[in-house]
């Protein structure tokens, strides 16, 4: 029952945020920054995460995809974001903006409270720890239509 409520909440909150945000398309980051968009696609024979790295000129600087075994979309979104933070750290990119179309994940990472979503609590702690190393320590929720490149890469 908790899983059903979580998915309902994610979708209903996302629609409320779409109305408030007024964001209708992907926006490039500020000059000398990168924007990392993450996504997951769950398929019958495997799940795929994707991360797109774009600069302030909207140029695709790097793309990353990986197949993994989980079938829970929230776990997949968290794995994609964790991988994005590791890739940015590895490349020593500290002026990055992270975006995801998972409202529940963005809310959980941004909250100062202990993670309540047991399936991703360890990943949330890891992401928070990694985000502390970046100049802009936040993850921003965006509507799916603003996350098209990462979705195409994962699909």
Distance of alpha carbon 75 from alpha carbon 82, whole angstroms: 10
The number of domains in the chain is 1
Looking only at Cα atoms, what is the longest distance across the chain? 45
At 82 the pLDDT is: 95
51: containing domain = 2-154
Residue ranges, the chain, pLDDT below 50? 18
Q: Any idea what the Cα angle at residue 52 is, between residues 6 and 61, rounded to 5°?
A: 165
Note the pTM of the prediction, 2 decimals. Answer: 0.80
At 37 the pLDDT is: 94
At 146 the pLDDT is: 81
Q: How many CA atoms lie within 13 A of 52 on its CB side?
A: 23
CATH number, domain containing residue 54? 3.30.420.10
């Amino acid at each position: 029952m908790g899983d059903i409520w979580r998915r309902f909440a994610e979708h209903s909150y996302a629609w409320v945020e779409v109305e408030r945000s007024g964001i209708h398309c992907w926006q490039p980051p500020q000059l000398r920054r990168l924007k990392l968009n993450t996504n997951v696609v769950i398929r019958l024979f495997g799940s795929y995460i994707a991360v797109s790295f774009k600069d302030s000129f909207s140029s695709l600087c790097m793309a990353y995809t990986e197949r993994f075994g989980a079938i829970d979309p929230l776990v997949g979104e968290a794995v994609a974001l964790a991988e994005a933070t590791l890739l940015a750290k590895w490349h020593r990119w500290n002026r990055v903006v992270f975006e995801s179309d998972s409202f529940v994940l963005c809310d959980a990472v941004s909250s100062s409270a202990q993670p309540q979503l047991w399936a991703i609590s360890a990943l949330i702690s890891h992401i928070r720890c990694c985000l502390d190393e970046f100049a802009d320590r936040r993850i921003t929720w965006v509507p799916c239509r603003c996350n098209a490149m990462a979705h195409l890469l994962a699909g």
